Structure 1
Amino acid sequence: MNTSAIFRSALSDAAASVDAVIDRLLPEPTGPEAPLFEAMRYAVLGPGKRMRPFFVLTGARMFGVKEQSALRVAAAVEFVHAYSLVHDDLPAMDDDDVRRGRPTVHRRFDEATAILAGDALQTLAFEVLADTDTHWDPQVRCDLVRDLAAAAGGRGMVGGQMLDLRAAEENFDIGAVARLERLKTGALIAFSCSAGAVLGNAGSQVRAALAAYAHDLGFAFQIADDLLDAEGSEAETGKRVGKDAGAGKATVVALLGVEAARQHAVMLANQAVAHLDGLGSGADPFRAAARFVVERRS
């Protein structure tokens, strides 16, 4: 089995493990709130790579963290990621009808239910992190809550989405686009990569190395997404393509061209891996993830 196949197998195993925990943590669709709970489950339990949970689990293994703790944090990250996709697909945002090869939540249900499902998924993430089942140490739980809130909020993912809305209307240069993509995509990836170190009370030097890795990888990940939007098909990606060009949105691909953007993504991935020097073989899954990010077709 080649390196790519080994990584995909590891990613699939991680997805299966975290999906089982997600299924237990999500409310069952019963009672008068049943449509809300059904929409929440539809949003999270559909097909997906589970890259962010994979990063959480990989980091946790590096520092000997109990699997239950790591899986709960991984589930919380996926709740936030799923909420962001539900809201991103709304008519007021990207107005998408298809996500991961299925109707988006507001198309499968309705806009109001989609908004509420996203809200409920976001708050459930913090409920999970704050629970004693996630970690015995209240300081660790507080650190996780603080870090995820910062990554997901106005100075992180949500701020990046605001910039993304402006990118179709304003002349962003490469610096502005880099900031947009590091916030919109990179902030949550950065939390995912460092969460294991927080759970394991790792030293500041290790946390800094993982943060630097995630900083570059998150940007590479978003450029790869932009390349798929420019070159991919809906069959490959499971969502509408050509959106950015159609909206006149500033992206790295639009500013540099396809080939230069691809080279930039590879450079960022290599740079990300270089930050892991000295972390040993335990960081090999992070290294493999960097290669996967720039080579993926979905």
Structure 2
Amino acid sequence: MHNDLLNLVTEQRNAKSTHIDQMSTEEIVALINEEDQTISAAVRNVLPAIEEAVGLLVKSIQSGGRVFYLGAGSSGRLGFLDASECPPTFGVDRSLFQVVLAGGESAMSEAIEGAEDEKLQGHLDLKERQLTASDAVVGISASGRTPYVIGALDYANQIGARTIAISSNHNAKISRFSDCQIEVVVGPEVITGSTRMKAGTAHKMILNMLSSTTMIKLGKVYENLMIDVNVSNEKLEERAISILQRVSGCDAQQARDALIASDKSVKTALVVLKTGVTVEEAKRALDESKGGVKQAISNYTSRG
């Protein structure tokens, strides 16, 4: 087991940073920046796998399922960062993207020693969430060998849920327990084994792609605008008004009036402004198009 760990790419020493403890501050930050420039290329190499993963997530959500990001330590926390932004950005329920973190909620702010080694606990934590075959589980582990993640993915497979594994080593162990394998190899870290650096950045980029692309494919974005944004504060209300103005060509007051009349649903307000129908008719059109704004607008335009 010890030798297996030392043979991982994520555990190798980076020749460029061997003497980093003797470098000036300027040299250190320049080196970290130089190494970070390799991350985008590494992610580019796994775009086909990311595309496949998006397809699985879309299918799960369309069938009424949820998405679970699961990991230990910084890997799990990255999942939390992405999942927590989905409700305000795309107007989805907080239950749609969930995080399962080794050691529980307290592990968000402090290290829970040994939590990542509990294979059975990964199984139990997903079982507690009442995992179903409609759900999707995204296991995140830089090393690709975290027992907690393996236990969770193994259980998810038994249930029939869709499974995705994100790691930063070739032929990662967690890949054997997943339908889709995303092995983004970024090379040795500037600080040996500190996968919160390049590997963590790569994983955050991939999670951004997974959630954002999935939401786009499900009609949560109109053109490149956050049409399903949850208007929960003043900043987001101003953003919603700006979106309505840009797309419909109306003035700020007209946009505000339509937004208020539509119970702050940007989608509904846009259909109203673009077609001239009532709020109730706009809601009905969106229901018929399963939330697709362009389709809802097109249906009324064609009728006209």
TM-score, normalising length: structure 1: 0.23
Question: Greater share of strand residues, 1 or 2?
Answer: 2
- Which structure has the bigger radius of gyration? 2
Structure 1 or 2: larger helix share? 1
Q: TM-score, normalised by structure 2?
A: 0.23
